[in-house]
Structure 1
Amino acid sequence: MNTPPVYLVSGVIVVNVLIIESNEEAFRLAVDTIDASNDALFFVRRQTTLADGIAYLQAAEVDVLLLDLQLPDSAGLVGFEQIAALFPALPVVILSGVENTAEAARAVAKGAQDYLILAEISAALLPRTLRYAIERKRYQRSLQASEERYRALFEQANDAVFILDFNGKYLEANQRAAAMLGYTQEEITRLTLWEVSGEVVESEGVLRRLIAGEHIPLYERRLVRRDGTRIPVEINIEVVRDAHGNPLFIQSIARDITARLQTQLALRASEERYRSLVESSDAAITMISRSGIILFANTIAARIRQTIPDAVIGKAWTQVYPEHQYQAIETVFHTGRGIVFESMAVFQRLPRWYRISAQPVRNNNGETVAAIVNAVDITNQKRDEAALRESRDEMERRVIERTIELARVKENLEAIFNHSGDGIMLLDLERGVQQTNQTFNALMGIEPESAFGAKLTAFFRPEDSGCIERTLALVASRRRNCRIETRVMRAGSSAVDVEISIAPVRSTDAPVKSVVCIVRDITTRKRAEAALRESEARYRLLAENVNDIIMRIALSGEVLFVTPSAETIIGYRPEDIIGRSAYQVIHPDDRRKFMTASKAIEGSTIPAFSYRIRRADGNYIWLETTGHLIRDPATDAPLEIVAVSRDISERKASEMAFQALSQRLELATRSGGIGIWEWDVRSDILAWDEQMVALYGADSDQPSTGIERWLNTIHPEDCERAVAALYAALHGDSPFDAEFRVRRPDGTMRHLHGAAVVLRDPQGQPLRMIGVNIDITRLKEAEVRRPITGASTMRAWRKRSMPTTTAV
C-alpha cells in the first residue's frame, strides 16, 4: 500500500498524498499550498472522517498522510494512534488549526513525522515537510530492519561468533558458540581466550599481531570443549572499529571444520563419491591442475559464467575466472597446504563476494598434482555483516552515550543529596534509616553513624509517633507522596518545627520497601505565620478604628474593601461601596485627574493627590488620597491598589481663603509701591519680589545674591545708619525701621523707607528676616517744598500705611 515516490523521466517526484480533514477551508489552504510547489508532483486525495480515511488507506497507495486531529468521529491523538497501529510504515504529518506544544510533543513521541500549524504552512514548508517525512520514515524502517537482521544474524549464524576485549576476555557469544563449546552463553562471558584455546601460545601470538594492527588471515585451531574434548575450527578474527577508526572490540568467527576434515579424508578415498557430492553441492567446485588448467567444474561453477561445465573444462583458470584468485590458489602448489580466502569478482556487471577454499590433491607419492577449489557465494553474508557492523557500532555509541548520561545523573543526584538545604533521609521500612545527609544530621543534632538503623519516630516528639506510623503505612500502601508537620526534640536545645515530605522509592516490585524523607526546618515560617496572624488582627483593629478611609481597589476600579470610617466621612456604609466602581462618586471635573493620578505610579507608590467626592447626601467634599500598588511576589505583576483617603475640606477652604487674601495683598502691594524682600541670614541669600526689583531699578534676570547687593545700592551718607539698624534688629535690640537713599543704575536717587521682622529658632538665633521697602521719594520732595507741614504729613502717612514690626 505504501510505496516510495515514483520518479518521472523528467526528474519530478510524484507523491501520493491523502488529507483527512473535515474543514473545507483548511483542506483548500493545504491543497493550494501544495500546488504552489515546483519541485514535486503531488496527487492529493481527501477524506473527511477517520473511518473513510482508513478505508481509503486499505484500498489505495498512499505515500504520506496529512491528518487533522479534530474529526467528526475522532478527537485528539486517538485517531493518529489507530492509523499508526494499522499502517506502521505510513509516514504521518499532523496538521492542526491551533498551536499545542504538549500535543505536538506527544504526537512526535508516538511516531508522527511532524506537527504543523495550519496558519504557518507555506509553499516552501509543506511540500518539503511531506518529502522529509517520507524519507525519515523510510530511514527508520531501514534502521529497524537492519538492527533486527544483525541480531538474527548474530544469534542464528551457523558459525560460532565471539566478542572479546583486548585482554582476551569473552564479552558475548551467540547460541552456536555456546552449543559448540558445551557452555551456556552466560558462562562463556566468564571465560578467557586462554581457557578455551587448545594452542595457547599460538593464540597469544595471533592476539598480539592483531592488536599491533596486522591483518590475520583465516587460520585453524583446536578449541577445548567443556567436557575436555577438542574440536578443529577455522577462525576469522578482526578488530571492529568505529566510524573514526578507533578500536572497539575483537570479533572472532569460528567454524567447526570437523566435518570438513572428515570430508576431505573421504574425498581422498573415493573421487567418484566426491564428484557426485560436488555436483549436488550449492557451492562452486572446480579442480585445477598445477599448470592452471580447469580439470573439473560442477554446474554451479559453470553457471557463474552463464555456461555449462563442458564449456569451462580444459580452459585456463584466468580465461574463466579472475586472475587474482589464481594467484592465491597457486600457494597450494607451492606449500602443499590448503588455503581459505575471500575474494570479490564482478560477474554480470554486479560485484559478488566468495569465500574460496583451495585444498591440495596429492598422488600416491604425496606430491600435489591438483587443487580442489570450493567457492561459496557470501555476498548476502557480506552485506549482512556490513549492516551488522553498522548496527553494532550504533548500538555501542548509544550504550556509551547512555552510560555517560547515567553517570552525569548520578553525579547530579549525589550533589543534590549532599548539598541540599533540606534534610534528606533514606528509610528502609523494615531495617530503619539507611542514609542521611549533612543537613539532616545538623538539624537533628546527631552524628551521622548514630542515625543508622533508627526508626523515623525516634527523631520527633512522642505524641506524633502514631501519626508518623500511619503516614508511612499510607505511603507504602497507596504508593503516593504525603506530607506532615511535627517537631524535632533535640537534646539540650529548644524544639524545632519541621515539615516531613515522604515519597516511596518506586520499583517494579509490588510492595514499597523504602521511602525518601525530606525534612525542612519551618520554625521561621511558623513564627512568621503567627506574626502574620497577630499583624492581621492589629491591622484589622486599626482599619476598623482609623479616622481615614482605607480602601482596596482592583486595577479595573472596583472597590474590594473599605473601612467603616467611610460611613462617617462620605456617608456610605462599606456594603454600599464594595463591588462598585470608585469613579462613580468622583466629581465629573476630577475623574480624569483621579484616573491619571492612579496610573502615575513611582515604583509601587502613588503620590498624594486631591479631588472632590459626592457624599451620600449629595454634597461634595474634598479628599486627599495616597496609594500603594500591591504586586504578585512571584511574577511582580500588579494586583490591586491600597488607597488611604483623608477629608481635607476644611484645609481646602482655608487654602482658598488664603489664596484670595494673597491676591488682595498682592494687589495692595502693587498699587501702593511696596516691595517685599526676604533674607536667609545663615546662607546669606537675599530674595526680592518684582516690586523690589522695580524700586531699585535692578535687572530682573539677576540671580539672588547676599546682603551685599542691598548695601552696595545705599547712599554712602545713609549706609552706616542702615547697617546699624539692621544689626540692632538681628541682636534683638530694636526692630528694623530705617529711611535711606539708594542710587539706581540709571543714576537717579530714590528715598526708601524699610521695615522688617526677624524669624528666630527655638534658641533665639536669627534665621530669616522678612521686610518691605516703600518709595517715599515724593513725600521727601513734598517736605522740601512745604517744610512747615511736611513733618506732620510724613507722620500721618507712616501711621496709615506702615506695618507694625515685631521680632519673632
Structure 2
Amino acid sequence: MNTDLAELVNKLQATLSKMEVALGAIADAVVFLDVNSQVQWCNRAFVQLVKRSHSTIIGSQFRELLPLAQAGVLIEPDTYPDVQMRKGGYEVAEYEFIQGDRTLILQISGSCTGVAEDKVAVLTIRDISDRKQTQIALADREFKFRSIVENTNDILVILTPEGVIRYISPNIINLTGYTATEVESQSFEPFVHPDDVHQLWQAFNQVASTGEKLSGIEHRVRDKDGSWRWHCCNISAFEDTPGNWLIAIVGWDITARKQTEDALKTSQARLNKILSHTAASIIYYRVYSNREWHLDYYSPGSALIFGYSTEEMIADNQLVASHIHPEDWAVMYQDCFDKIFAEQTFEHNYRYLHPDGNWRWISAIFTSVWDQSINGWLVTSICTDITDKKNTEIALAESESKFRTIVENVNDIILITDLEGVIRYISPNLETIMGYTPSELEGQSFEPIVHPDDLPKTWDAFNQLATTGERFSGLENRARHKDGSWKWFSSNLSVIRDTNGNLLFVSVARDITERKQAEEALKASEARLNAILSSTVASIQHVHVYANRDWNLQYCSPGSELVYGYTAEEILADSHLIVSRIHPEDWETVVPKIFDSIFSERPSEHEYRYLHPNGNWYWICYNITSVQDEAADCWRVTIIATDITDKKRTELALAESELKFRSIVENASDILCIINLEGIIHYVSPNVVSLNLFEISTVKP
C-alpha cells in the first residue's frame, strides 16, 4: 500500500471513528439491518434497549431482539418497519415493546439504501414512553377538571385583571339563563347589580395585590329575565402563564338563603396537548483547556432546532451560545467545562432564544474524550427541542393548581370512589363541613358514614350510573358528622376512568341540612295552620286578582264548606261558583267597592246576601286585605268570610221591636217617664208636649 493510499485509509478510519462516536452518543437507538433483517451494526442505545450484549446482537434477527406490538398484539413479520421500508410503503409509526416489567412506547423511523435485491435498512428507534405518560396524565387531569366543573352546583368564572370574562362554567345557564357563549369575552359589570360592582372591584384588586384568597363576597347577579339573584363567591388570583395573572371566582346562588332570612330566613382549564417531534441536532467540536472551542460539524437537523443553517452556525463559533438565556448560561458554563474535562457524560436543559423571537427549551447531552493529537477534548453534543415537553409539564402544573383552586373554594364536597365504594379521594373542605380530615376517610368504605336507611337508594344510584354511564342528579341522603349528628346532602354523580381504565364514581355533594330543617318546620307550621283552619267556622281564601278584574283562587280553607255549603275542592275548581250566588242587588253595589279597596291596598269589610245550596238566603261578612306583587303582575288578596245571618236576624228583630215600642208610646194617652235611682230623667214620651206640661228639652237630663 503506497503512502497516499495509507493516508487516505487512515483519514477514512478516523472519519468512521468520529461518526461511530457520534452515533454512539445519540440517545435514540440506531440499527443497521441487512436484506434478511439481521443486525449488521447498532449503537450503544440499542444495546441498552434490548438488554443484550453487543456480540450476541450482531447477526441476530431484528424481530427476535425487538418483538413489536400494536394495541397489545404482536405484529406480523411482514409488517415490521424494515420490511415495509424495502417495499417503499413505510411511514413513521409507534410500537409497544415489553422491557422486563415495563411496556415502552417506541417511535421508529428510518430509510433504506442499496439496490433492490440488497437494500440495507437503517432504523432510528426513539423511546417516547415518558412523553406518552405525561400526555395521559394531562388528559386525565383535564377530564377530572371538566367533570368537576360540569357537575358542581357552583359557577366557576375566570376574569382578566380588566374584568373581562375569559371563562365561565356551563351550568351558568341553569343559574342565570345565560349560555357561556353569551357571557364570555364580556365585562362582568353589566351582569352585576350597580350597587355591588365597586365592592367586587375592591376584592379583585386586593387578591391581585396580596395573593390572599377572599371568601364570602355577597353580591347580586342579573338573570337573563332581568330579575336579580343573590350570589356569594370566593375569589383568588393565579398565574395562567408567567406574569399573566387572572382572577378565579367560585360563586353559588344564595337567593333561597336570602329569601329564607327575610321571610323565616362554577378551569377554566383549557389545556392543550402538545404533540411534537423534531429531529436532533448533532454537534461535533473541539474544546481546549483554556475553555475555548472550535465547531467542526452540525447535522442538518440543527437548523430545525436552532433556526440557523449549519453554515451560519459553523461560521460563527458563538452564534448558538449567544442565544442561550443568561441565567442558564451562567449555570452551564462552569459545570459543562468541568465535566468535559472529567470526560463525564451529562445533560443540561436550557432556554434558547430562537430567531422567530420565541424562547425554546433545549435538552443537550454531552460526551467527551481526550485526543492527544489536538491537545484537547473531542466533544459530541446531541440537542433536542423539549419545548413541548416543558410546556406540557407547566400546563400539567397549572392544571393541578387550577384543580386545587376549584376544589378548595367550592362549598360542595367532592368525592371519588371505586366500584366497591372505597373512597379514593375527598376534598379538603370535608373537615369544615363534616369534622373529618380527608386522611380519616380515604381508603375506607363510604357505608359507615351514610345513614342505614339511605344506603339502598345510594347503591341503586351508583349501580344505575355504572350501567348507563349517564349523570345522576339530586341524590339526597344523610351522612354522619364526626360529632355523631346527621347532615342532609344532595349529590350529583358522574363516572370517570383512571389512567388504568378503572371505572370511578365522582360525587359532588352539597349540604342541604338547613333546607331540610326549614322544610320540616314549614310542614309542621302548615299542619298547625290546617288544624286551626279546619276547626274555624270561617272561610279563608287566597286569591290572585288582576288589573282586568279577573281572579284566580289559590287556596280555600276547610271551613268554607260551613259558610258556603260547598267543599274547598268544589270552590277551587270553579272560581265563579260563590260570586254566581250573591244577591244581584248586593253584587251591583259591593263589587266596585271590593275592587277599589283591592287595587288601593286598603283593608275593607263588606256584607252581602248569599243563596246557600239549601235554598236559604244567608248574610255573609267579607273582610279583605291585599298587597301588590309586581313580579306576578297581580294583587295577592286574603279574604275572610263569616256567616252573619243570625246577627242580621237579631238586628232586624231589634229594629222591629223598637218600631213597635215607639208606635205604642207615641200614640198612648199616658206619659211614659224613665228615671234612674238618683232621680235623673232618662226618657219621657213625646206626648208630654201635647199635654202642655213641659218642653221635652226641659225635662231631659
Same fold, judged at TM 0.5 (above): no
TM-score range, shorter chain: 0.3 to 0.5
Larger Rg: 1
User: Which of the pair has the greater relative contact order for Cα pairs under 8 Å at 6+ separation?
Assistant: 2
